Amino acid sequence: MAEKITPPGGEERIQAMSDRENAPYPRGDGKVKLVTTDWLADHLYDEDLTVLDTQPNVHDYIQEHIPGAVYLNEGVLRVPERGFPTAFSPRACIQESFQRVGLKAGSPVVVYTGKGAFSGQGDGLAQMMMAYSLAKYGHDTVYILDGGIDTWKSENRELSQEYPAIDPSGFTGELRSDYAIGYDEFVQIKDDDNVVVLDARPMKFYAGKGPWRLAGHIPGAISLPWRSLMDDGNPALFKPNAELDAILEDHGIDRSMTVICTCGTGREATNEFVLFKWLYLYPRVRLYEGSFTEWSIRRENPVVEGPEPGGRRARPAPAQ
């Protein structure tokens, strides 16, 4: 008898997944799920539903958005901290922003983004950043529109230029501290046998020089470019489940391990945090928010170049 092969999410995921068209997906009590355009069209005018437009430029929202959506740019999610440029915003800042768009922790919120019709910008990551931050700061029912506004538009669905009347809410942010991992803890556990560190940046940055002072990557980190997980033509649309299963199996990312998601600034890694924690139901997933930007500014930290987790040690480059 042939050996039974269990997909990377394990039996728990098999029980939860069924079909991605059966939204919200996957079933279960996860804080973040995917929904389809059909689901959103059916629920768009639900009284308790909030829809957040996170398109890259406010002019994109002004020109066109899904009816009833309120604009919230992902820029509110990060502010400098003691000069460090990519720190996630403190709870008080996030709470004020979420209150202004009328969010309620117990009522569902749909987030979407897309390639802006006005700006021509947009890499699809804004909805992942927003979904991660919503859940991290206490929201309980976050839905990501799989495919974003671009899929919505490709189906000739209704668009609007009206702005909804929003009453501020009493949203109270409650930090879920087990999502992010800080520098000190990261250094302490990253080389443990039961830990796998992923780098979501493009391979050219993982292997070589990007905008950082040092080239390469954190020693031991496995390259898993976030874009490889998404549809070739739409970076806001996950690839089919079978293709995602194959990618994860090829990378040997076992669900028994603690998965630490990293990238350049903590933004790209939110894509993989969402995938592993809420779509694949891995039990131990963390996000190193400081990522390579924080790692590389500490001169005592080694880095390696090349396409493999190991490699030759890079020399510190002088600050420009």
Q: How many CB atoms lie within 10 A of CB 47?
A: 5
Cis peptide before 80 (omega within 30 of 0): no
Sign (positive/negative) of CA torsion 284, 18, 142, 111? positive
Q: What is the DSSP letter of 282?
A: -
Q: Which stretches of 21-164 are assigned E, i.e. beta strand? A: 32-35, 50-53, 70-71, 109-112, 142-145
Per DSSP bridges, beta strands 70-71 and 142-145 are: unpaired
Q: Give the strands of the sheet with 258-262, arranged side by side.
A: 222-223, 195-199, 258-262, 285-287
- Annotated catalytic, 263? yes
Q: What does the alpha-carbon distance between residue 100 and residue 222 come to, in Å, rounded to a whole number?
A: 39
- How far is Cα 291 from Cα 31, in angstroms, rounded to an integer? 24
Token readout for 15 is 């029980």
Query: Catalytic residue among 105, 263, 269, 279, which?
Result: 263
- The 3-state secondary structure of 184-218, one letter per residue: HHHHHHCCCCCEEEEECCCHHHHHCCCCCCCCCEC
Are the C-beta atoms of 141 and 107 separated by less than 8 Å? yes
Distance separating alpha carbons of residues 198 and 175, to the nearest angstrom: 24
**CA torsion angle for 278, 142, 67, 167 (degrees, to 10)?**
-170
- E-strand stretches of 24-152: 32-35, 50-53, 70-71, 109-112, 142-145
303/312 Cα distance (integer angstroms): 8
Catalytic residues: 263
